[in-house]
């Protein structure tokens, strides 16, 4: 579980500790979207639906541990994530407790075993498939599991969810190493954490990060404490915030595909006060996710598959037919073959003409007595068929990062943005 926490003394203290809402200017964000109509699946330790901050927010869900009830959470981790995403506060008019960034989204609890690398990979992989089948458009994976490498059962489950137009968001990890699986899988939004100063958290994993979000000293519901609340550090929390932002976007832009939502998330991210960085940054990826900007920035839809790398072997909905590029390429190959055949025909005719000419000259020379003067000789023409210029392919400069390119002008080795657009470096 990618989170460490300390209990908070009271519910009143919680509201004052929700600094991410202030940073994101949540009140302004909610004028545009609160996540209504969106289901976020939390594949975790369950979600305690009896918590006052989550009243009416938790759907029935499903348990994959054998304990029976996905709306019970003896560990508290899944409930904490749910509160950051869709908490509605408690007390009179919701004036106390935790409010999530997408307070009108619904939570689908998927109860699994996610203890660090000792959990049941099969259970959460099955949970991912279940979430996709139940209509969740966002799946939050605040977990790590080295068994979810490419080609594994878990990776295939994520690919299945992605094929169902689901945005999968996962935690980068908390051990200051490289981004863990499943966050490192193709097409998954890998999330790092930043602190109150919006600087990278020292324990957040790096290299392969897509975006970052608040994850340090974050107040959240925790049913295992006496007050019911805690303040915690971890990429678990930052992942929940990005899942909430995706929920806001999916509510505001229901016509966009999962890939296009990710495109909007990435294009609106910014380094903010982290000056001197270039995309893709090892610690922040494409920047800190910004809900207000993501909701309102003028961003072209982009391709349906989005900017991130796709899983190997993934196919489009038209996989049974060749794409336009494939058809054109095939035709080009056929055309090249026909051209080569034409050249061979011309060469053959020319050779035949030359051979006939030589034979005619020899016969004439013999008939004329074998004279060696120019009058009886065959002049050397020196003519050859011109060779076609050799076709060459120049690899574009720089490799892509997660299937996405840095924008023009950035002093990054992978500097090329096919859409020629990049977010401003300030604002939320």
- 380 assigned to active site: no
Cis peptide leading into 290, omega within 30 of 0? no
Does 278 share its domain with 341?
Answer: no
What is the rounded distance in angstroms from the CA atom of residue 160 to the CA atom of residue 126? 11
**Digitized pLDDT (tens) for each residue of the chain, 428 residues in all:** 455 567 665 666 787 789 999 999 999 999 999 999 999 999 999 999 999 999 999 999 999 998 889 999 999 999 999 999 999 998 888 888 999 999 999 999 999 988 755 468 999 999 999 999 999 999 999 999 999 999 999 999 999 999 999 999 999 999 999 999 999 999 999 999 999 999 999 999 999 999 999 999 999 999 999 889 999 999 999 999 999 999 999 999 999 999 999 999 999 999 998 989 999 999 999 999 999 999 999 999 999 999 999 887 664 333 233 333 333 333 332 333 333 344 333 334 444 444 434 444 433 433 333 433 333 333 333 333 232 232 222 222 222 333 333 333 333 333 333 333 344 333 35
Does 185 share its domain with 59?
Answer: yes
Does 67 share its domain with 131?
Answer: yes
Q: Which pLDDT tens digit goes with each residue over 61-84?
A: 999 998 889 999 999 999 999 999
- Give yes or no for a contact between 423 and 268, defined as CB atoms under 8 angstroms apart: yes
Catalytic residue among 17, 33, 77, 243: 77
CA angle 400, 403, 408 (to 5 degrees): 50
Does 364 share its domain with 223?
Answer: no
Q: Classify residue 123: in a domain, yes or no.
A: yes
Domain end point (choices 344, 361, 378): 378
Does 215 share its domain with 275?
Answer: yes
Catalytic residue among 142, 148, 236, 238: 236
Does 242 share its domain with 368?
Answer: no
- 405 assigned to active site: no
Domain, as residue range, for 373: 336-378
Catalytic residue among 5, 33, 44, 222: 44
Sheet holding 218-221, edge to edge: 4-7, 229-233, 218-221
Q: Classify residue 89: in a domain, yes or no.
A: yes
Q: Classify residue 103: in a domain, yes or no.
A: yes
Q: Classify residue 176: in a domain, yes or no.
A: yes
- Give yes or no for a contact between 219 and 229, defined as CB atoms under 8 angstroms apart: yes
What is the rounded distance in angstroms from the CA atom of residue 9 to the CA atom of residue 282? 37
Q: At what angle do helices 235-252 and 258-267 cross, to 10 degrees?
A: 110
- 73 assigned to active site: no
- Give yes or no for a contact between 40 and 140, defined as CB atoms under 8 angstroms apart: yes
End-to-end Cα spacing for the chain: 29
Backbone angles phi, psi at 177, to 5 degrees: -100, -150
What's this model's pTM, rounded to 2 decimal places? 0.75
């Amino acid at each position: 579980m990618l989170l460490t926490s300390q209990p908070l003394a009271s519910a009143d203290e919680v509201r004052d500790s929700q600094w991410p809402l202030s940073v994101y200017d949540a009140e302004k964000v909610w004028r545009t979207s609160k996540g209504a109509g969106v289901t976020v699946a939390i594949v975790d330790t369950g979600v305690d639906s009896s918590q006052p901050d989550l009243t009416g927010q938790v759907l029935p869900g499903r348990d994959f541990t054998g304990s029976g009830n996905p709306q019970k959470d003896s560990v508290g981790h899944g409930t904490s994530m749910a509160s950051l995403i869709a908490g509605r506060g408690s007390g009179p008019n919701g004036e106390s407790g935790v409010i999530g960034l997408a307070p009108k989204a619904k939570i689908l609890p998927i109860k699994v075993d996610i203890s660090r690398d000792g959990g049941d990979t099969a259970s959460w992989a099955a949970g991912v498939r279940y979430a996709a089948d139940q209509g969740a458009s966002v799946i939050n994976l605040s977990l790590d599991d080295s068994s979810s490498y490419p080609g594994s059962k878990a990776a295939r489950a994520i690919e299945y969810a992605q094929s169902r137009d689901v945005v999968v968001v996962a935690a980068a990890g908390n051990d200051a190493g490289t981004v863990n699986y499943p966050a490192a899988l193709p097409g998954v939004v890998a999330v790092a954490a930043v602190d109150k100063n919006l600087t990278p958290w020292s324990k957040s994993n790096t290299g392969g990060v897509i975006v970052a979000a608040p994850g340090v000293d974050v107040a959240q519901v925790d049913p295992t404490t006496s007050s019911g609340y805690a303040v915690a550090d971890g990429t678990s929390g930052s992942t929940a915030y990005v899942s909430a932002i995706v929920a806001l976007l999916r509510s505001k832009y229901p016509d966009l595909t999962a890939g296009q939502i990710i495109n909007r998330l990435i294009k609106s991210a910014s380094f903010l006060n982290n000056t001197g960085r270039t995309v893709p940054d090892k610690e922040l990826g494409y920047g800190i996710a910004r809900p207000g900007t993501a909701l309102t920035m003028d961003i072209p839809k982009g391709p349906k598959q989005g900017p991130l790398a796709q899983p190997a072997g993934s196919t489009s909905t038209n996989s049974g037919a060749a794409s336009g590029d494939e058809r054109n390429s095939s035709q080009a190959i056929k055309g090249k073959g026909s051209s080569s055949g034409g050249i061979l025909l011309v060469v053959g005719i020319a050779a035949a003409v030359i051979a006939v000419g030589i034979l005619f000259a020899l016969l004439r020379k013999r008939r004329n007595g074998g004279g060696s003067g120019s009058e009886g000789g065959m002049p050397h023409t020196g003519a050859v068929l011109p060779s076609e210029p050799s076709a060459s392919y120049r690899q574009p400069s720089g490799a892509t990062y997660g299937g996405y390119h840095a924008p023009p002008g950035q002093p990054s080795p992978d500097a090329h943005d096919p859409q020629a657009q990049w977010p401003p470096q300030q604002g939320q």
